[in-house]
Amino acid sequence: MTVAADGLTAGLFYSFQFRSQNQVGYSELSAITRIGLGAEPPAIGSLVANLTACGPSFVAMTWDAISAPLQLPVLGYFVQMIDPVTDEWEDVLDASTDPDVLSHTQYGAMTGESYTFRVFAVNFNGRSTAVGNNVEILTCGLPLHFAQPTYVTSSRTSISIEWAPPFDDGGC
Amino acid sequence: MLAFEAAGDNGGSAIAQYNLYATAATADGESTELYAIVSSYDAASMEFTLDNTVETSFISGSKYRFRLSATNTIGEGELSNSVTIALAENALQPAAPTRDLTRSRQSAMYITWTAVVPADGLVVDGYKLNMTRLGTGESFCVYDGSENNQRLFYNVTGLSAGERYAFSVSSVNFNGESGPSDELIVVSCTPPDEFPKPFFISSTQSSVTIGWLPPSDMGGCNLLTYELQINDGLGGTSFLGIDSVALSGRPYLTQHTVTAEATADPATAGGPLVSGGTYKVKLLAYNEVGHTESTNYLDVVVASVPEPPPSAPSQNFAFTDEGKIRVEFGTLESATYNGGSQILGYDLWRDDGAGGDLGSLYGSAAAFQSNLALTFTDFDVMKGTTYRYMYRARNINGWGDFSEVGYLFAASVPARPQAPSLVSVDDGEISLQLFTSEDTGGNDLTAYELWMDAGDINTAYS
């Protein structure tokens, strides 16, 4: 049902209880449901991979805080990932009580495999239903330990150098 | 008076005269002295009346022996045989006999009579009782007590119940038997007996109808009438007959409706019966020879049975749950419903919850126990089952009609529902998902309520 009582004030937190009645009388009141009156947070479309923070067994991502004015503040975020086994979205980060968390590193990834993520904002009423962008991130870090090239020959018009591959190819 | 016969043989010569001799006799009639000529006799008449004012030696009440002789020219013949006569009137006629009903039976009548005064001092020797069967005309002496003047009764047995008989009595003295008394004509029966007390049939707030059974012992003859007697309705012990016009000569009646109470004057109809008054009523049954009272009086209250209750039983949900039903019903004590008499008990009926017949929850005890409670907690119920209940009340005159049927059920309040859940919300509107009670308590849900506070901590719900 939809409650559209007069005098509701955005930003306030309302408590609701419910009960049934038959000819004998009323049931006990239900447990309380508290709901803040305010629109849910918008979808987060700023999720991006943080490639510099990725590695051969982990992927990293960041997103931007919601800047639009809201009657109910954002209390945190949930990060979801498609489980490669079940192919279903599953929560991989519950940061619903810390709005300052704007990044996440997912460990345990398999090198070379890609993983898909999305982020939801959470306010008093729970996570937003608005779905933002998905980001697919390959599990692979930057090449590391790349030795300096060395001189081989040169002429008036050419220089030959040689190098060894990076000691750490980052996993891909 | 003496009468004579002429000498049968005059001896060949005409009779010249007769001589009358007399002598005093003893009680057994034998002479104690010599005969003497009665001088006042004219010596010729064939009749002679002895007058002791002339023959002064003759004493009234005494007995005398008389003999007669005839004389012709030759001389006086032999004396005749003697005759003994008391100088007194014949025995006096007794009064008509009477019957002693207390000692009579249907086939036997106890007849009594009164002794007569001795005539001229001559002792009465006894009495004879004669009986005539009026149906046949047959008449005979049923008792010859001519030598027993002390017995003034006789129990005539062997009679046929219901037949009529005429009795007369005669007295006997030495001179003979009197004429018969006037007749006592009676039917051979006794007063009715074994008359059960009347019983209650119905009543209103202004009348009472009682019924009765005839006496089981009619006494041997037909009933003639009933008499209804009633007291003053205030506990008085005096009974007065009423409604004689309606009852008189109607022995076939077996019930009667009384609308008027007795007054001090039985001949005057009383006022209307007082509603709520308790009257004592009894009956008298009459036949030709007497009457009997009913074995006891009937207490009747001038009231109708209670009115049917104006509403069906209801249930008190505060004391009803899935295992019991608290049934409540309204009192009928008010004058509008009690029929004019105090309510003595209620009776609550219920069916089996499956449309079967209704039966009393109090059982047969309801008829005599004072179940005046206006509630009944019925534990013999099943959750979710609807039962039909009805009730009635009784006062002194019985049960009134039943109320309408009330449909009551064993149920509890619904189970606690799940808390509402949020469907959607924006800056001005909240959509909630509500959940009904999974257990309705055995009764259909009729309503829901959603409570909400004012949006701040510790604000009131509405």
Put simply, the answer to whether A22 touches B432 (Cβ < 8 Å) is no
B399 and B328 share a domain?
Answer: yes
How far is the alpha carbon of B394 from chain A, nearest alpha carbon, in Å? 31
Q: Please tell me whether residues A90 and A151 are part of one structural domain.
A: no
Say if residue A17's pLDDT is above 80. yes
Question: Residues A73, A122: one domain?
Answer: yes
Per-residue pLDDT, A168: 84
Of B248, B278, B301, the residue that ends a domain is: B301
Q: Which of A10, A18, A37 lies closest to B434 in CB terms?
A: A18
Task: Kindly state whether residues B398 and B443 are assigned to the same domain.
Answer: no
| A89 and A158 fall within a common domain | no
Given a cut of 70, is residue A123 above it in pLDDT?
yes
Counting one residue from chain A and one from chain B, the pairs whose CB atoms sit within 8 A come to: 160
CATH of the domain at A107: 2.60.40.10
How many residues are recorded in chain B?
A: 462
Q: How many CB atoms lie within 10 A of CB B262?
A: 26
pLDDT at B436 over 80: yes
In chain B, pLDDT over 70 holds for what percent of residues?
96
Residue A2 resides in a domain: no
Q: Do B427 and A25 touch (CB under 8 A)?
A: no
Q: Are B200 and B298 in contact (CB under 8 A)?
A: yes
B389 vs B368 pLDDT, higher one? B389
Q: Is the pLDDT of residue B196 over 60?
A: yes
Nearest chain A CA: its distance from B360 CA (Å): 25
The whole-number pLDDT of residue A48 equals 96
Residues of A in contact with B419 (CB under 8 A): 16-18, 30-33
Which of A29, A37, A129 minimises the CB distance to B427?
A37
Interface test with B, best of A2, A6, A13, A18 (most B CBs within 10 A): A18
Q: pLDDT tier at B39 (50, 70, 90 boundaries)? A: confident
Q: Are residues A57 and A119 in the same domain?
A: yes
- Asked if the structure places residue A160 within a domain, the reply is yes
CB atoms A35 and B432 under 8 Å:
yes
The reply to whether ipTM tops 0.95 is no
Q: What is the DSSP string of chain A?
A: -EE--TT--TT-EEEEEEEEEESS-BPPPPPPEEEE-SPPPPP----EE-GGG-BTTEEEEE-PPP-S--SS---EEEEEEE-TTT--EEEEEEETT-TT--EEEEESPPTT-EEEEEEEEEETTEE-------EEEES-PPPB--PPPEEEEE-SS-EEEE-PPPSB-TT-
Contact predicate A139/A115, CB 8 Å: yes
Q: Indicate yes or no: CB of A35 within 8 angstroms of CB of B422.
A: yes
Q: Are A68 and A84 within one domain? A: yes
Count of domains in chain A?
2
Q: Tell me whether residue A28 is in a domain.
A: no
Q: How close does chain A come to B345, measured CA to CA in Å?
A: 29
What pLDDT, on the 0 to 100 scale, is given for residue B213?
Answer: 95
**pLDDT for residue A5:** 59
| Structural domain total, chain B | 5
Q: Facing residues of B445 across strands?
A: A22
Residue A40 has pLDDT above 60, yes or no: yes
% of chain B with per-residue pLDDT over 90: 54
Given a cut of 90, whether residue B393 has pLDDT beyond it is yes
- Kindly determine whether residue B414 and residue A13, on different chains, have CB atoms separated by under 8 Å: no
User: Given this model, what pLDDT does residue A6 score?
Assistant: 65
Domain identity same for A129 and A58: yes
Q: Is A128 part of a structural domain of the chain? A: yes
Q: How far apart are CA A25 and CA B416, in angstroms?
A: 12
User: CB B272: neighbour CB atoms within 10 A?
Assistant: 13
User: How far does the CA of residue A51 sit from the closest CA of chain B (Å)?
Assistant: 37
Residues B398 and B327 in one domain: yes
Nearest 5 degrees, angle CA A159-CA A161-CA A165? 155
pLDDT grade for B28, boundaries at 50, 70 and 90: low
For A1, the closest of B411, B428, B434 (CB atoms) is B434
**Residues B181 and B247 reside in one and the same domain:** no
With respect to residue A74, please indicate whether it lies within any of the assigned structural domains: yes
Is A82 among the domain residues? yes
Cα within 13 Å of Cα(B73), Cβ side: 3
CATH label of the domain that carries residue B104: 2.60.40.10
Closest-CA residue of B relative to A32 is B419
Interface test mutation site (partner B, options A16, A40, A122, max chain B beta carbons within 10 A): A16
Same domain, A133 and A160: no
Region B177-202 average pLDDT:
93
Same structural domain for residues B423 and B330?
A: no
* A34 within a domain of the structure (yes/no): no
Judge if A112 and A167 occupy the same domain: no
- Which residue of chain B is at minimal alpha-carbon distance from A21? B447
d(CA B382, CA B408): 11
Q: How far is B424 from chain A (nearest CA, A)?
A: 8
Q: How far is the alpha carbon of B458 from chain A, nearest alpha carbon, in Å?
A: 10
* CB < 8 Å to B417, chain A: 18-20, 27, 30
Cβ pair B425:A125 closer than 8 A = yes
A8 domain-assigned: no
For residue B193, is it within any domain?
A: no
The confidence score (pLDDT) of residue A169 equals: 82
Contacts of B327 in chain A (CB under 8 A): none
Q: Lowest-confidence range among A1-5, B170-174, B348-352?
A: A1-5
List, as ranges, residues 119-148 from A with C-beta within 8 Å of B.
Answer: 125-126, 129
- Residue with the larger pLDDT of the pair B196 and B119: B196
Judge if A149 and A129 occupy the same domain: no
Q: How confident is the model at residue B425 (pLDDT cuts 50, 70, 90)?
A: confident
Range of the domain at B373: 314-409
Is B306 a member of any domain? Answer: no
Which range is least confidently modeled, A1-10, A39-48, A140-149, B214-223?
A1-10
> Across all residues in chain B, what is the average pLDDT?
90
pLDDT digits (tens, 9 = 90+) for B138-164: 999 999 999 999 999 999 999 999 899
B205 and B283 part of one domain: yes
Q: Are residues A123 and A76 in the same domain?
A: yes
Residues of A in contact with B440 (CB under 8 A): 20, 22
The answer as to whether B93 is a domain residue is no
Residue B389: pLDDT above 90?
yes
At residue B172, the pLDDT reads 93
Position B307 in a domain: no
Is residue B441 within 8 A of residue B415, CB to CB? The reply is yes
Are the C-beta atoms of B118 and B173 separated by less than 8 Å?
Answer: yes
Asked whether residue B376 is domain-assigned, the answer is: yes
In this prediction, residue B122 carries a pLDDT of 85
Measure CB to CB from residue B461 to each of A8, A17, A129 and give the nearest one. Answer: A17
Nearest CB neighbour to B440, from listed A2, A8, A22:
A22
Distance set, CA A78 to CA A51, A100, A120, B307 (Å) = 21, 12, 5, 76
Instruction: Pick the last residue of a domain from B62, B86, B110.
Output: B86
Per residue in B252-294, pLDDT (tens digit) is: 999 999 987 766 565 666 778 888 888 999 999 999 889 999 9
Average pLDDT over residues B389-399: 93
Rounded CA-CA distance A101/A75 in Å is 10
A107 and A69 fall within a common domain: yes
Check whether residue A55 and residue A133 sit in a common domain.
yes
- Does B455 sit within 8 Å of A37, measured CB to CB? yes
Q: Are B322 and B278 found together in one domain?
A: no
Beta carbons of B453 and A24 less than 8 Å apart? no
Question: How distant is the Cα of B461 from the closest Cα of chain A, in angstroms?
Answer: 8
Model pLDDT for residues B298-355, shown as the tens digit of each residue: 998 889 899 999 999 999 988 998 899 999 999 999 999 999 889 999 999 999 999 9
pLDDT for B327 equals 97
Domain membership flag for residue B435: yes
Q: Which domain holds residue A150?
A: 144-172
Domain boundary among B86, B114, B138: B86
Q: What is the mean pLDDT of residues B170-192?
A: 93
Give all strands of the β-sheet with A103-107 in edge-to-edge order: A48-49, A58-62, A103-107
With beta carbons less than 8 A apart as the criterion, state whether B133 and B185 touch.
no
Of A3, A24, A31, which has the smallest distance from its Cβ to B411's Cβ?
A24
Candidates B317, B426, B433; nearest CB to A23: B317
pLDDT tens digits for B57-71? 888 888 888 889 999
Statement to judge: residues B242 and B274 lie in one domain:
yes
Q: Which of B414, B449, B453 sits opposite A14 (nearest CB)?
A: B453
